[in-house]
Structure 1
Amino acid sequence: MDKLPEIVELLDESGIGLADGEGLLDERERRILIGAVNFHALARPGRTFRITVLRGPRGTMPSLTDDRTRHIEWGDDREVVGSLVVRSTVQTTSGTNPPEGLVDLAVDLGGEPEVASAYHQLPGLMGKVRRSVRFFAPVQFDVLRQYRTDVTEKRYRKREVPKKAPVRITRGTTATGHGATPAIIFGIHWLELGGAERFALETVQLAKEAGFTPIVITDRPSTHPWITRPELDGAIVVPLTHPVSPEQESAFLNGVLSAYDVRGVHLHHSTWLAQRLPWLKSIRPDLPVIDSLHILEWRTGGFVDISVRMTNVIDHHHVISPMLRDYLVGKQGVDPAKVELATLANLTTKGIGQAAAKAKSDDGPFTVAFVGRFTQQKRPYLFLQLAASLKGSASREIRFIVHGDGELAGEVHGLVSRLGLSDVLELRGSDKPVAKTLADADVLVISSDNEGLTLTSFEATAAGVPVVSTDVGSQASLVAEDLLVPRHPYPFISTAAERIRTMINSPEQRKTWLDEQAGKAAAFAKLPDARTWVRDTYEGWLK
């Protein structure tokens, strides 16, 4: 349980348990409320706040920093949990007196986390049609999506991303002083399960170990189930909810810069913070900026395009795969000296360069596994269609493990029954370790329609398990060439099924493919390690 940050003084509360956690809120809600208090304390130094704390129905999003917090009226479905009075202990601008008067706020913590597909939220008649097609015919719907991706990818490859003009200032103007505590600002998408988020929290931990206070800012609507993670103990977490008024945005960032001795900025898929880098650089041109990038998104350009646009105010583009490095340098003309390739090969494994094939016996069923979130990107429904194909065509007993959870959980459970897989397929959740699934598996299948370079590929390699993967992102950097299969649904099913049947019938060929995969892993192990590079960079910021 994390303590109340020093930037806030608790004056009164109605049994909420903000300070000690022994009250009306669970730990996730308590930390979300502290995050809201952090924002207002930094945006309005010295002010006293009376906060009415609301709770919404299950699945509703929090309202913590947006304009709605100023309203003293709320929806009929909102429960009043209690109220508290806090004072910001952040020092005001030099030469001014602390402002007077009580500020009333209504902070809505939202409801219990509920996983729901974005398709469930599509409005109107067209939304209803898309939902119906998507959930009754997911494979056919995906066929249309992939053809659309082909068109957008072809168009995308031809264009150059425009770049923001550089900030030419070499010395910023000093409006306020700064605190004595060294800090790093982190921009993070949200505090939910994900590969980028897993690495982001790893860097937060590295910052603490180096002697920094992490200032963690999230910018996407979420109930933040990961806000209770131990990596965030001692961090100043601020979950933004939008729209935040422009004057509040600058006041908040000024509050951070004045309350702490900020030594750097590290972005992890944060649109809001990326778009405010030119302003930050205009007042603090000495502030080093890292942007960590994981995946190229053909449909929208995504965070990679945002990073290219802001390259003139970013000091280091950290990329986790050769494919991203080549795209930034070769296609978008980013200065090669600014692009740092440092991989996540050993983020969740140890000794990937020494991976060895797992001995297999002809006894017992051949086991095919899927490990990942149940999302549109990961396409678990395609794995289930593959399983149905293999069930009827394998030359020996076969079984399947699907390990994960997410917004398509209902669809996954329904398809298992509809496809007649209940007797050969086991569903596993977060209560089981992924290592156990990989220990049980003969092959891992990655059915995603887009990736950067999956952590599960590294984990499977370390466990001696060959990977059959769609040929997306930088998966070719690790997966054996013959085991890279088409992204389009029906070619994916037929090609993946053929490769797996070959493994079943020829253990020698399975070993050959795994040896190729292990060789690529050994080459990857020689590349710079992201954890080491980040640690060295942070230590340099302390000097």
Structure 2
Amino acid sequence: MDVQEFATQLREALDGQDVGFSLTKSATEVLEHLGPQWLAAAMKPVLLINQGRMQHFELHTEGAEPMRNLAESGGGPRRGIAVVGSGERAPRAAHLTLPTPEILAGETSFSFGQRPNFVAKTISAIYTRAYWQVPLALDSYRQWRNKRAGGRVRGERMTTVPMQQHTDVAGRTMWVAMHWAESGGAESWAWEQARLAKEAGFALVITFDRAAPQRQLAKAFALTEDVYLVGNSLERPHWPLFVAELLRKHDISHLHIHHSELAYAALASLRLTHPQIRVEDSTHIVEHRGGGFVGTSIELSDYLDLHHVISPQLVDLYTANGVDPAKLAFHPLTGFSADAPLPRTSRGGGSLRVGFLGRLSAQKRPYLFQRTAAACKLAGGSELRFIMQGAGELEKMVERDQRRLRLDSYVERRDWAPVAGFLADIDVLLVTSENEGLTLTALEANAAGVLVLSADVGSQRSVVADAALLPAQPVQFVSQAVRLLRALAKDEALFASLLAQQGRKVEQIAAQQSASEFYAQHYQEVMAR
């Protein structure tokens, strides 16, 4: 890496502020991959709350996913320092978290949960080791525990009286608050929503509040230069000050939340100081034991103007928890995937090709796909072929199980590639997730004439044939999946019947106005006011 050229580009990305740095070899390797825009986006949250003074950054690397924000724990091994800006006041110290070269090369380790202290680290290590050694047993326990969780997530309602001297907004700037810039269905919709907003005339500000490699950050920079990697540099106690400065600097008029803890945490005070800002969110999945982001959205519903939900299940949950139906906009994620192949109406003979598509994460349960394949192989399933496409933090575990279960010649592994090519190569999409909303991949699969077999979670029953729904409990999942896959391989009439029923269900969902259509129209109306 030409460090002088990197420094020049970093100064440009920081609006001309002076920059100097010292880097280890590993930090240089990481920053050569990430680029100066990435580093600037991670520095900007800290610089925003410390304007007018020199800023000192310690650069650290995190080697496990999900990544920690090392600013929360006071840093880790130092891989470099950077100094930005000038000023008479003494420089402030901050910690900035970078991914390791191993994470960027796809050789990451994986840990369950957040690890902010010794006790949490110990629990995480035990849980992670158990998942690595006996995933079926641990997952069975997790499903049993999840089943015991209650369904109501609504807290007490709030009465709000805004400050008399509140801040007026005059611009047309939208803050798009995202979880991270990684691959996923929620993120795919977030990019589309942001694109529609920009197309309608909004200026955009995009934040990410979860530490991550941010592999899709280029998509944010394609939409705006105002990008902030909060989760890689800023401690939570500084979030309120950051939000206040963000609103002031950019004159925010609208806020759209996509699974963002930062934005949800800011809503109560934002409603007191900036009551004119219009706030909307999009939610996808009901997490176990508390509801996750859906639970937070329902809890804070009094602070939001509109809830965009993607499935009938979420409509029912919001209304059951007392949310005004007039605030709900049910619009599925149909119609914005442009690379689907031509649909098929029959299998066409030969081996039944079964696919897994998605991030290699605990939620997606790739181990369950592999164990289903192993069980089919053990049962003599020569009429079946298996293909896995995806990458993620469980890559090492998947590679190990591939060898341990002797699947190298039975399960084909593929890295991320266009969805159209993958769907053209399979007959059945096997969704093993422990939790989902209404998967975009299921809609894409149906458009390509691919039959979906899925764990009966979330709102999957809205788009999956009844007989193709499988128990979420892992042992029962494997047993029923093997039985059904072998039957489908031998009975093309059964395949055609389930595919037809699936198509009828998807048609009912597709009859609903899509999220893209709704927001294109919605933003036209907003801009016309």
Same fold per TM (> 0.5)?
yes
How far apart in 2 are the matches of 1:524 and 1:394? Answer: 38
How far apart in 2 are the matches of 1:529 and 1:462? Answer: 15
1:254 aligns with 2:244: yes
How far apart in 1 are the matches of 2:255 and 2:430? Answer: 36
Name the residue aligned to 2:127: 130
How far apart in 2 are the matches of 1:12 and 1:395? Answer: 64
Name the residue aligned to 2:111: 118
In structure 2, relative to structure 1, the CA distance for the partners of 1:126 and 1:118 (3 Å cut) is closer
In structure 2, relative to structure 1, the CA distance for the partners of 1:532 and 1:5 (3 Å cut) is farther
CA drift of 1:303 comes to 0.8
Name the residue aligned to 2:195: 205
**Structure 2 length as normaliser, TM-score?**
0.86
- Say if 1:57 and 1:78, in contact at 8 Å, map to a contact too: no
Query: Per-residue CA shift, 1:365-384, capped at 9, x if unaligned?
Result: 22111111111211111111
5+ residue gaps, structure 2, are 1-5
* Pairing 1:314-393 to 2, within 5 Å after superposition: 314-329=304-319, 331-349=320-338, 356-363=343-350, 365-393=351-379
The letter for the 1-side match of 2:212 is S
How far apart in 2 are the matches of 1:54 and 1:370? Answer: 37
- Say if 2:347 and 2:495, in contact at 8 Å, map to a contact too: no
Which secondary structure state, in structure 1, belongs to the residue aligned with residue 216 of structure 2?
A: helix
- Compare 141-150 and 287-296 and name the one that shifted more: 141-150
In structure 2, relative to structure 1, the CA distance for the partners of 1:356 and 1:260 (3 Å cut) is same
Match of 2:391 among 370, 383, 405: 405
Name the residue aligned to 2:293: 303
The letter for the 1-side match of 2:269 is W
In structure 2, relative to structure 1, the CA distance for the partners of 1:164 and 1:283 (3 Å cut) is same
How far apart in 2 are the matches of 1:538 and 1:268? Answer: 17
How far apart in 2 are the matches of 1:261 and 1:196? Answer: 26
- Say if 2:11 and 2:17, in contact at 8 Å, map to a contact too: no
Query: Per-residue CA shift, 1:183-225, capped at 9, x if unaligned?
Result: 1112211122221122112222222222222222222222322
In structure 2, relative to structure 1, the CA distance for the partners of 1:396 and 1:286 (3 Å cut) is same
How far apart in 2 are the matches of 1:64 and 1:51? Answer: 15
How far apart in 1 are the matches of 2:122 and 2:253? Answer: 50
Match of 1:462 among 447, 450, 456: 447
CA drift of 1:55 comes to 4.6
How far apart in 2 are the matches of 1:217 and 1:64? Answer: 18
CA drift of 1:435 comes to 1.9
How far apart in 1 are the matches of 2:41 and 2:48? Answer: 11
How far apart in 2 are the matches of 1:13 and 1:101? Answer: 17
How far apart in 2 are the matches of 1:36 and 1:275? Answer: 20
1:54 aligns with 2:59: yes
1:188 aligns with 2:178: yes
**Structure 1 length as normaliser, TM-score?**
0.84
How far apart in 2 are the matches of 1:59 and 1:238? Answer: 22
How far apart in 2 are the matches of 1:26 and 1:213? Answer: 29
1:173 aligns with 2:165: yes
Query: Per-residue CA shift, 1:54-100, capped at 9, x if unaligned?
Result: 353655968698795xxxxx75x31325433268xxxxxxxxxxxx6
The letter for the 2-side match of 1:147 is W
How far apart in 1 are the matches of 2:68 and 2:146? Answer: 33
In structure 2, relative to structure 1, the CA distance for the partners of 1:5 and 1:344 (3 Å cut) is farther
Query: Per-residue CA shift, 1:423-445, capped at 9, x if unaligned?
Result: 22100111x32322211111110
How far apart in 2 are the matches of 1:196 and 1:57? Answer: 24
How far apart in 1 are the matches of 2:128 and 2:71? Answer: 32
Match of 1:263 among 253, 256, 261: 253
Bigger Cα Rg = 1
The letter for the 2-side match of 1:215 is V
- Say if 1:59 and 1:110, in contact at 8 Å, map to a contact too: no
- Say if 1:27 and 1:228, in contact at 8 Å, map to a contact too: no
CA drift of 1:322 comes to 0.6
Let me know the Cα RMSD of the aligned residues: 3.3
In structure 2, relative to structure 1, the CA distance for the partners of 1:127 and 1:58 (3 Å cut) is closer
In structure 2, relative to structure 1, the CA distance for the partners of 1:172 and 1:86 (3 Å cut) is farther
- Say if 1:384 and 1:415, in contact at 8 Å, map to a contact too: yes
1:162 aligns with 2:181: no
- Compare 451-460 and 382-391 and name the one that shifted more: 382-391
1:80 aligns with 2:72: no
How far apart in 1 are the matches of 2:171 and 2:421? Answer: 43
Query: Per-residue CA shift, 1:290-337, capped at 9, x if unaligned?
Result: 0110001122321111111111111111100011011111x2011000
* Pairing 1:478-489 to 2, within 5 Å after superposition: 478-489=463-474
- Compare 59-68 and 342-351 and name the one that shifted more: 59-68
How far apart in 2 are the matches of 1:161 and 1:335? Answer: 12
- Say if 1:51 and 1:85, in contact at 8 Å, map to a contact too: no
In structure 2, relative to structure 1, the CA distance for the partners of 1:541 and 1:51 (3 Å cut) is farther
- Say if 1:343 and 1:528, in contact at 8 Å, map to a contact too: yes
Which secondary structure state, in structure 2, belongs to the residue aligned with residue 56 of structure 1?
A: strand
Name the residue aligned to 1:144: 141
Name the residue aligned to 1:96: none
- Say if 1:64 and 1:239, in contact at 8 Å, map to a contact too: no
CA drift of 1:409 comes to 1.6
- Say if 2:166 and 2:274, in contact at 8 Å, map to a contact too: no
CA drift of 1:41 comes to 4.5
How far apart in 2 are the matches of 1:27 and 1:417? Answer: 30
How far apart in 2 are the matches of 1:512 and 1:444? Answer: 16
How far apart in 1 are the matches of 2:202 and 2:22? Answer: 30
In structure 2, relative to structure 1, the CA distance for the partners of 1:358 and 1:55 (3 Å cut) is same
How far apart in 1 are the matches of 2:130 and 2:22? Answer: 45
Query: Per-residue CA shift, 1:331-375, capped at 9, x if unaligned?
Result: 2011000011011022325799xx843443334x22111111111
Which secondary structure state, in structure 2, belongs to the residue aligned with residue 184 of structure 1?
A: strand
Name the residue aligned to 2:40: 34
1:415 aligns with 2:392: no
How far apart in 2 are the matches of 1:66 and 1:399? Answer: 46
How far apart in 1 are the matches of 2:212 and 2:198? Answer: 25
1:272 aligns with 2:262: yes
Using the aligned pairs only, state the percent identity: 30
How far apart in 2 are the matches of 1:323 and 1:144? Answer: 25
The letter for the 1-side match of 2:360 is F
- Compare 493-502 and 462-471 and name the one that shifted more: 493-502
In structure 2, relative to structure 1, the CA distance for the partners of 1:252 and 1:419 (3 Å cut) is closer
Name the residue aligned to 1:94: none
How far apart in 1 are the matches of 2:512 and 2:205? Answer: 30
Which secondary structure state, in structure 2, belongs to the residue aligned with residue 333 of structure 1?
A: coil
The letter for the 1-side match of 2:493 is E
5+ residue gaps, structure 1, are 69-73, 88-99
Name the residue aligned to 2:3: none
